[in-house]
Amino acid sequence: MKVFTIRNLCKTYHTGEVDVHALRDVSLDVDSGEFIVLLGPSGSGKSTLLNIIGGLDVPSSGQVLFGDQDLSAASESALTAYRRRHVGFVFQFYNLIPSLTVRENVALVTDIVSDPMPVDEAVDRVGLTPRRDHFPAQLSGGEQQRVAIARAIVKRPAVLLCDEPTGALDYETGKLVLDVIERINVELATTAIVITHNAAIAGMADRVVRLGDGRILGIENNAHKLRPAELSW
Ligand code: ADP
Ligand code: MG
Protein backbone atom coordinates (compact mmCIF):
# COMPACT_ATOMS: atom_id res chain seq x y z
CA MET A 1 0.00 0.00 0.00
CA LYS A 2 1.21 3.46 -0.85
CA VAL A 3 1.54 5.92 1.99
CA PHE A 4 2.88 8.95 0.07
CA THR A 5 2.47 9.96 -3.54
CA ILE A 6 4.71 12.88 -4.40
CA ARG A 7 4.27 14.47 -7.80
CA ASN A 8 6.28 17.23 -9.46
CA LEU A 9 7.11 18.87 -6.16
CA CYS A 10 8.76 22.28 -6.37
CA LYS A 11 9.73 24.59 -3.55
CA THR A 12 11.15 28.02 -4.14
CA TYR A 13 12.20 30.31 -1.31
CA HIS A 14 12.08 34.00 -2.15
CA THR A 15 14.87 35.68 -0.25
CA GLY A 16 15.68 39.25 -1.13
CA GLU A 17 16.58 39.51 -4.81
CA VAL A 18 17.32 35.83 -5.34
CA ASP A 19 15.00 32.87 -5.60
CA VAL A 20 16.33 29.66 -4.08
CA HIS A 21 15.00 26.57 -5.84
CA ALA A 22 15.17 24.09 -2.97
CA LEU A 23 13.16 21.40 -4.78
CA ARG A 24 12.79 21.09 -8.55
CA ASP A 25 10.25 18.61 -9.85
CA VAL A 26 10.59 15.85 -7.29
CA SER A 27 8.36 12.79 -7.73
CA LEU A 28 8.46 9.77 -5.45
CA ASP A 29 6.12 7.07 -4.18
CA VAL A 30 6.60 5.69 -0.69
CA ASP A 31 5.11 2.35 0.33
CA SER A 32 3.68 1.76 3.75
CA GLY A 33 6.36 0.25 5.99
CA GLU A 34 9.26 1.27 3.79
CA PHE A 35 12.57 2.47 5.20
CA ILE A 36 13.86 5.26 2.98
CA VAL A 37 17.12 7.11 3.35
CA LEU A 38 17.65 10.55 1.84
CA LEU A 39 21.24 11.33 0.94
CA GLY A 40 22.80 14.37 -0.64
CA PRO A 41 25.13 17.25 0.02
CA SER A 42 24.24 20.15 2.27
CA GLY A 43 21.71 22.40 0.57
CA SER A 44 20.42 19.71 -1.79
CA GLY A 45 16.85 19.94 -0.47
CA LYS A 46 16.67 16.98 1.94
CA SER A 47 15.20 18.87 4.89
CA THR A 48 12.81 20.79 2.66
CA LEU A 49 11.46 17.52 1.24
CA LEU A 50 11.14 15.94 4.70
CA ASN A 51 9.41 19.03 6.10
CA ILE A 52 6.87 19.09 3.28
CA ILE A 53 6.17 15.37 3.72
CA GLY A 54 5.70 16.01 7.44
CA GLY A 55 3.35 18.94 6.95
CA LEU A 56 5.78 21.46 8.46
CA ASP A 57 6.13 23.30 5.16
CA VAL A 58 4.09 23.59 1.99
CA PRO A 59 5.26 23.21 -1.62
CA SER A 60 5.27 26.05 -4.15
CA SER A 61 3.76 23.66 -6.69
CA GLY A 62 3.17 19.97 -7.15
CA GLN A 63 1.33 17.49 -5.00
CA VAL A 64 1.87 15.39 -1.89
CA LEU A 65 -0.78 12.80 -1.04
CA PHE A 66 -0.87 10.96 2.29
CA GLY A 67 -3.02 8.00 1.31
CA ASP A 68 -5.70 9.93 -0.55
CA GLN A 69 -5.44 13.09 1.55
CA ASP A 70 -3.92 15.92 -0.51
CA LEU A 71 -1.52 17.62 1.92
CA SER A 72 -0.59 20.22 -0.69
CA ALA A 73 -4.21 21.44 -0.76
CA ALA A 74 -4.91 21.05 2.97
CA SER A 75 -5.88 23.93 5.23
CA GLU A 76 -3.46 24.88 7.98
CA SER A 77 -5.65 23.21 10.61
CA ALA A 78 -5.95 20.01 8.55
CA LEU A 79 -2.18 19.98 8.11
CA THR A 80 -1.67 20.42 11.86
CA ALA A 81 -4.11 17.59 12.59
CA TYR A 82 -2.29 15.35 10.08
CA ARG A 83 1.06 16.13 11.65
CA ARG A 84 -0.11 15.61 15.21
CA ARG A 85 -1.85 12.33 14.49
CA HIS A 86 0.30 10.66 11.91
CA VAL A 87 3.87 12.01 12.03
CA GLY A 88 6.67 11.41 14.51
CA PHE A 89 9.64 13.74 14.10
CA VAL A 90 13.21 13.24 15.25
CA PHE A 91 15.73 16.02 14.71
CA GLN A 92 19.47 16.39 15.23
CA PHE A 93 18.88 18.09 18.58
CA TYR A 94 16.73 16.25 21.03
CA ASN A 95 14.57 19.08 22.40
CA LEU A 96 13.88 17.27 25.66
CA ILE A 97 12.48 19.13 28.64
CA PRO A 98 15.35 19.23 31.18
CA SER A 99 13.10 19.31 34.26
CA LEU A 100 11.21 16.15 33.27
CA THR A 101 12.37 12.53 33.54
CA VAL A 102 12.59 10.16 30.58
CA ARG A 103 9.09 8.79 31.26
CA GLU A 104 7.65 12.29 31.76
CA ASN A 105 9.18 13.58 28.51
CA VAL A 106 7.56 10.70 26.65
CA ALA A 107 4.24 10.91 28.53
CA LEU A 108 3.91 14.58 27.63
CA VAL A 109 2.73 13.84 24.10
CA THR A 110 0.38 10.93 24.79
CA ASP A 111 -2.66 13.24 25.10
CA ILE A 112 -2.35 14.10 21.41
CA VAL A 113 -3.86 10.81 20.28
CA SER A 114 -6.66 8.59 21.53
CA ASP A 115 -4.70 5.33 21.36
CA PRO A 116 -1.13 5.98 22.51
CA MET A 117 1.34 3.23 23.24
CA PRO A 118 1.93 2.68 26.97
CA VAL A 119 4.78 5.02 27.97
CA ASP A 120 6.80 2.16 29.45
CA GLU A 121 6.54 0.24 26.19
CA ALA A 122 7.86 3.20 24.20
CA VAL A 123 10.72 3.62 26.69
CA ASP A 124 11.45 -0.09 26.51
CA ARG A 125 11.52 -0.10 22.70
CA VAL A 126 14.42 2.34 22.79
CA GLY A 127 16.20 0.39 25.52
CA LEU A 128 15.87 2.97 28.28
CA THR A 129 13.90 1.07 30.91
CA PRO A 130 16.83 1.19 33.36
CA ARG A 131 17.06 4.97 32.83
CA ARG A 132 13.37 5.80 32.81
CA ASP A 133 13.43 7.96 35.94
CA HIS A 134 16.58 9.84 34.96
CA PHE A 135 16.67 13.44 33.77
CA PRO A 136 18.10 14.40 30.34
CA ALA A 137 21.28 15.86 31.87
CA GLN A 138 22.03 12.43 33.39
CA LEU A 139 21.96 10.77 29.94
CA SER A 140 24.48 10.52 27.11
CA GLY A 141 23.71 12.10 23.74
CA GLY A 142 22.71 8.77 22.24
CA GLU A 143 20.39 8.05 25.17
CA GLN A 144 18.81 11.48 24.85
CA GLN A 145 18.17 10.85 21.17
CA ARG A 146 16.55 7.52 22.08
CA VAL A 147 14.20 9.42 24.42
CA ALA A 148 13.31 11.66 21.49
CA ILE A 149 12.57 8.53 19.43
CA ALA A 150 10.36 7.12 22.21
CA ARG A 151 8.51 10.44 22.31
CA ALA A 152 8.04 10.28 18.53
CA ILE A 153 6.66 6.72 18.49
CA VAL A 154 4.43 6.76 21.58
CA LYS A 155 1.69 8.27 19.38
CA ARG A 156 1.92 5.21 17.10
CA PRO A 157 2.52 7.47 14.08
CA ALA A 158 2.18 6.11 10.56
CA VAL A 159 5.47 7.69 9.62
CA LEU A 160 8.70 8.49 11.42
CA LEU A 161 10.66 11.37 9.87
CA CYS A 162 14.24 11.77 11.05
CA ASP A 163 16.37 14.73 9.99
CA GLU A 164 20.02 13.94 10.74
CA PRO A 165 19.22 12.06 13.96
CA THR A 166 22.87 11.05 14.26
CA GLY A 167 24.29 14.47 13.36
CA ALA A 168 25.46 15.25 16.89
CA LEU A 169 26.67 11.72 17.70
CA ASP A 170 29.85 9.75 17.06
CA TYR A 171 29.68 6.94 14.51
CA GLU A 172 29.09 4.03 16.89
CA THR A 173 26.50 5.86 18.99
CA GLY A 174 24.80 7.00 15.80
CA LYS A 175 24.72 3.45 14.53
CA LEU A 176 22.92 2.32 17.68
CA VAL A 177 20.33 5.08 17.22
CA LEU A 178 19.81 3.93 13.62
CA ASP A 179 19.47 0.32 14.85
CA VAL A 180 16.66 1.48 17.14
CA ILE A 181 14.91 3.26 14.26
CA GLU A 182 15.29 0.15 12.11
CA ARG A 183 13.75 -2.09 14.78
CA ILE A 184 10.79 0.26 15.09
CA ASN A 185 10.37 0.24 11.32
CA VAL A 186 10.35 -3.56 11.26
CA GLU A 187 8.47 -4.35 14.48
CA LEU A 188 5.81 -1.63 14.32
CA ALA A 189 5.71 -1.39 10.51
CA THR A 190 6.24 2.38 10.86
CA THR A 191 7.27 3.94 7.57
CA ALA A 192 10.64 5.62 8.16
CA ILE A 193 12.29 8.38 6.13
CA VAL A 194 15.72 9.21 7.46
CA ILE A 195 18.31 11.81 6.47
CA THR A 196 21.76 10.79 7.67
CA HIS A 197 25.40 10.73 6.71
CA ASN A 198 26.12 7.70 8.90
CA ALA A 199 27.37 4.98 6.55
CA ALA A 200 25.81 2.29 8.76
CA ILE A 201 22.45 3.20 7.25
CA ALA A 202 23.34 1.67 3.90
CA GLY A 203 22.38 -1.85 4.90
CA MET A 204 19.17 -0.87 6.68
CA ALA A 205 17.26 1.01 4.03
CA ASP A 206 14.85 -0.47 1.51
CA ARG A 207 15.70 2.39 -0.82
CA VAL A 208 18.28 5.15 -0.90
CA VAL A 209 17.14 8.36 -2.59
CA ARG A 210 19.96 10.66 -3.67
CA LEU A 211 19.21 14.35 -3.96
CA GLY A 212 21.35 16.98 -5.64
CA ASP A 213 20.47 20.61 -6.24
CA GLY A 214 16.79 20.01 -5.50
CA ARG A 215 16.39 17.02 -7.81
CA ILE A 216 16.34 13.27 -7.36
CA LEU A 217 19.57 12.09 -8.97
CA GLY A 218 18.93 8.41 -8.41
CA ILE A 219 17.12 5.80 -6.35
CA GLU A 220 18.87 2.60 -5.33
CA ASN A 221 16.96 -0.46 -4.20
CA ASN A 222 18.68 -2.41 -1.48
CA ALA A 223 18.45 -6.01 -2.55
CA HIS A 224 20.29 -7.25 0.52
CA LYS A 225 18.50 -5.46 3.30
CA LEU A 226 19.87 -6.58 6.61
CA ARG A 227 17.58 -7.68 9.40
CA PRO A 228 17.80 -5.57 12.54
CA ALA A 229 20.78 -6.16 14.75
CA GLU A 230 20.25 -7.91 18.06
CA LEU A 231 20.28 -5.12 20.56
CA SER A 232 21.50 -5.76 24.05
CA TRP A 233 21.38 -2.75 26.32
P1 ADP B 1 19.60 20.11 3.04
O2 ADP B 1 18.70 19.66 4.14
O3 ADP B 1 19.82 19.09 1.97
O4 ADP B 1 20.89 20.67 3.56
P5 ADP B 1 17.65 22.24 2.70
O6 ADP B 1 16.38 21.60 2.30
O7 ADP B 1 17.77 22.68 4.12
O8 ADP B 1 18.88 21.32 2.27
O9 ADP B 1 17.89 23.54 1.81
C10 ADP B 1 17.78 23.53 0.39
C11 ADP B 1 18.04 24.95 -0.13
O12 ADP B 1 17.00 25.79 0.30
C13 ADP B 1 19.32 25.56 0.40
O14 ADP B 1 19.87 26.36 -0.59
C15 ADP B 1 18.84 26.41 1.57
O16 ADP B 1 19.70 27.48 1.80
C17 ADP B 1 17.49 26.86 1.08
N18 ADP B 1 16.52 27.09 2.19
C19 ADP B 1 16.08 26.16 3.06
N20 ADP B 1 15.17 26.68 3.91
C21 ADP B 1 15.07 28.00 3.56
C22 ADP B 1 14.30 29.09 4.06
N23 ADP B 1 13.45 28.94 5.07
N24 ADP B 1 14.44 30.28 3.45
C25 ADP B 1 15.26 30.45 2.41
N26 ADP B 1 16.02 29.45 1.88
C27 ADP B 1 15.93 28.24 2.45
MG1 MG C 1 19.01 19.57 6.19
CB-based neighbours (< 5 A) of ligand 2, an ion? 47
Given the DSSP bridges, would you call strands 18-31 and 2-15 parallel, antiparallel or unpaired?
antiparallel
Pocket of ligand 1 contains residue 20 by CB under 6 Å: yes
What pTM did the predictor assign?
0.95
Phi-psi region of 202 (alpha: psi -120 to 50; beta: other; left: phi over 0): alpha
Q: What is the number of the ligand closest to the CA of 167?
A: 2
Pocket of ligand 1 contains residue 22 by CB under 6 Å: yes
Distance 71 CA to ligand 1 centre (A): 20
Residue 200 lies in a domain: yes
Residue 19 lies in a domain: no
- In whole angstroms, give the CA distance from residue 5 to residue 77: 21
Of 223, 211, 197, the C-alpha closest to 53 is 211
Residue 73 lies in a domain: no
The domain tally of the chain equals 1
Residue 160 lies in a domain: yes
Q: Which domain holds residue 174?
A: 32-57+85-230
Residue 155 lies in a domain: yes
- ipTM (interface predicted TM): 0.98
- In whole angstroms, give the CA distance from residue 207 to residue 217: 13
Helix pair 171-187, 141-153: axis angle to 10 deg: 20
Tell me the pLDDT of the chain (233 aa) as tens digits. 999 999 999 999 998 889 999 999 999 999 999 999 999 999 999 999 999 999 999 999 999 999 999 999 999 999 999 999 999 999 999 999 999 999 999 999 999 999 999 999 999 999 999 999 999 999 999 999 999 999 999 999 999 999 999 999 999 999 999 999 999 999 999 999 999 988 888 788 999 999 999 999 999 998 777 677 776 66
